[in-house]
Structure formats: C-alpha cells, structure tokens
Structure 1
Amino acid sequence: MSLQAKLDAFKADFEAGKPPYNVPHSVIEVMHRATAELIASGAADRALKAGDRAPVFTLDDPEGNPVSSADLLAEGPLVISFYRGVWCPYCNMELQALEAALPSFRALGASLIAISPQTTVNSRKSVRQNELDFPILSDTHNDVAAKFGLRFALPDYLVELYRNLKNDLPGFNGDESWTLPMPGRFVIGRDGVILYAEVNPDYTRRPEPEDMLPALRKAANVSA
C-alpha cells in the first residue's frame, strides 16, 4: 500500500469518529477550516523550490549532538523531511515510509534527516517508536523551517482547539510561539542546490518516498 493510501485510510477512520479516536465532527470542521485557510494564504507557493539554494544549518540530533548540513552534503546528496512532531500520526506514517525507502537513498549515496520543532526528548521518542535509522534534528522556534519558507503561526481558534485536546505544542517544542512547519520534502545536491521540493499546506497529503529517486539518481550521476 502506498504512503498516501495509508494516510487516506487513517483520515477516513479518524474523521468518521471510529474508536479509538471518537473525535467530534466540530473538531474536524475546525481542522478543515485551518487547512483551507493555510492553502488559501499561498504560503506554500513562497517556500523554496527546485533550483533555489538551500540554507546552511546546524541542528542537534536526539542525543544533543550538532549535525551540520554542510558536513552531510560533503558526503553526498541530502534528503530532508520537515516533521511536525511525535504527536502527529500522519507525520509518523511518513517517517515509517521514509525508513522503508532508506536503503534506496543510501544506495545512491544520499543521507536522510527529519527536522522538527520538538525537543530532543521527543525526537528520541519519535526515533524509538517509529524504529528509525536516521536522525530527527530539533529546530527550535522553527528557525530553519522559516528559512525554507515553511513556518506558519497557528490561528487563535486552532490554538484553542489544540489546548482543549491537550495537544500542548509549547510543551512538546519547548517554545511558546505556537508555530509549525508545513510538511516539506527536499532533495539537496552536494553543491547546495535544491533538486526536488514538495510542500503541501494540507498535512494529510504527503508525496511518496519514491518520488525523490529521479532527483537522487541525477545527483548521483553528477557526483560520479
């Protein structure tokens, strides 16, 4: 089953209020409103695209060790997935799909990282629960996400909903800003130029990991 098919199946059960979710329809309506407004804002159109130069960054891995994008690119192409947090089931399913595709990425000389605003403690939890063999880097305040054009502030009514659902983003992230990254997937060549970019303000829609393979093959041929 494709990643998107799994996401669609989960979404259908979640929005139908099936156990164990039992989510009221009013909650679903608020989530739909927030997604529709983010789409209408055109924020995704302003994110970095293929052909743009990627920002250089250094972020901590789950153990608190600094990881430099420049060091990773010195070894080969880099795949980046911007991840909302351990609390997001859609994101966790995406990480699991990326883990399954990791051997294909490594065969082409590429590294894979996820970037999330969550604390290193929660990143360790994500890595453990999703059985990942790649790191989740902590992007405090979504600063790197902002450089990629992905950071957005949650509207007040969505903040209220999250609080009512006990989804404490300030607690998860160690940051009071109530911001998140739009889900984004990037392939960066060794020269720092973005070869593939996919950004979707609808967090229930994610590209397939295999969609990045043509860009990675191109990068491998250039490096050869």
Structure 2
Amino acid sequence: MKLQDKLDAMREDFESGRFPLVPTRDQLDTMQRATRLLADSGQADCALKAGDTAPDFSLEDADGNSVDSRALLARGPLVATFYRGVWCPYCNYDLQALEEIRPAIEEHGASLVAISPQTPANCRKSQRDNKLGFPILSDAGTAVAAEFGLRFSLPDDLIEVYRQFGNDLQRINDDPAWVLPMPARYVIGTDGVIAYAEVNPDYTRRPDPSDLLPVLDRLRAGYPA
C-alpha cells in the first residue's frame, strides 16, 4: 500500500470517530481551516525549491551528537525530511515509510535524516517507537526549518485544539513559541544544490518515498536531477 493510501485511511478513521482520539466537529473545522489558511498564504511557494542551494546546518541527534550537513554531503547525497513531532500520527507513518526504503537510499550512497523541532528526548522516543535506523535531529526553535522557508506560526484557535488533545508543543519542543515546519522532503546533491523538493502545507498529504529513488539514480549517474 502506498503511503498516501495509509494516510487517507487514517484521516478517514480520525474524522469519522474511529480513532482513539475522537474530535468534535468544531475541532475538525478549526484544523481544516488552519490548513486552508496556510495553503492560501502561499508560504509553501516561497520555500526552497529544486535548483536552490541548501543552507548548511549542524544539529544534535537524539544522543547529543553533532551532525553536520557538510560532513554528510562529503559522503554522498542527503535526503532530509522535516518532521513535526512524535505527537503527529501522519508524520510517524511518514517516518515508517522512509525506514522501509532506507536500505535502497543507502545503496545509492545517500544519507537520510529527519529534522524536528522537538527535544532530543522526544526524538529518541520517535526513533524507538517507529523503529528507525536513521537519526532524527533536534532543530531548536525551528531555526533550520526557517532557513528552508518552512517555519510557520500556529493560529490561536489551533493552539487551543492542540492543547485540548494534550499536544503541548511548548513542552514537547521546549520552546515558548507555537511554531512548526511545514512537512517537506529534500534531496540535496553533493554540491549542496537541491535536486528534489516537496513541500505541502497540508500535513495529511505526503509524497511516496519511492519518488526519491529516480532522483538518486540521476545524481549517481551524474545527470541533473
């Protein structure tokens, strides 16, 4: 089953009350309105795209080790996915799908990392719960997400819904600001140029990880992606 099929089924279960957490109609309306407002803002169109140069970054992994993008790119292409957090079931399905294809990514000589605003402790929980063989890097204050053009502020009514669901992002991210990255996936070539970019303000929509392999094939063959 394709990743989007799984996400569509989960969304249907959530909105139909067949999920452990049953939202009210008002909560659903607030969530859907916030997604429309973010899409209508055009921010996704302003995020970094294929052909742009990716910013360098150095972030801590779940064990406190520094991971430098330049060091990863010295070994081969880099696949970077921006992850909202352990509390988001759509994001967790996304990570699991990436883990399934991780061996193929690594066979192409590429590295795979996820980048999240959550604390290292919550990154460890995400890695453990999703049985990941790749690191989740802690992007304090969504600083790297901002450099990619992905950071946005949650509207007040959505903040209240998240609080009602028990998702206290101030605690999860150790950050007083209610900010998140738009879900995004990038392939960065060894020259630092973005070869593939997918950004979607709708967190329930994700590209299939298999889309990455043709891009990595072209990079390995020396052709522009």
Q: TM-score, normalised by structure 2?
A: 0.97
Partner of 2:204: 204
Partner of 1:3: 3
Aligned-residue identity in percent: 60
Give the superposition deviation at 1:213. 1.2
Runs of 4+ with >3 A deviation: none
Give the superposition deviation at 1:222. 2.1
Partner of 2:54: 54
Cα distance in 2 for partners of 1:19, 1:77 equals 38
Partner of 2:186: 186
Q: What does 1:63-212 correspond to in 2, within 5 Å?
A: 63-212=63-212
Cα distance in 1 for partners of 2:37, 2:173 equals 24
Unaligned runs of 5+ in 1: none
Residues 73-113 of structure 1: CA distance to partner in whole angstroms, max 9, x if unpaired? 00000000000000000000000000000011011100000
What secondary structure sits across from 2:79 in the alignment? strand
Give the superposition deviation at 1:164. 2.1
Unaligned runs of 5+ in 2: none
Give the superposition deviation at 1:21. 2.4
Residues 113-172 of structure 1: CA distance to partner in whole angstroms, max 9, x if unpaired? 000000000000000000000000000000000000000000111112212222100100
Give the superposition deviation at 1:220. 1.2
Q: What does 1:15-54 correspond to in 2, within 5 Å?
A: 15-54=15-54
Cα distance in 1 for partners of 2:19, 2:34 equals 24
RMSD: 0.9
Amino acid aligned to 1:12:
E
Cα distance in 1 for partners of 2:105, 2:159 equals 37
Aligned pairs, how many? 223
What secondary structure sits across from 2:222 in the alignment? helix
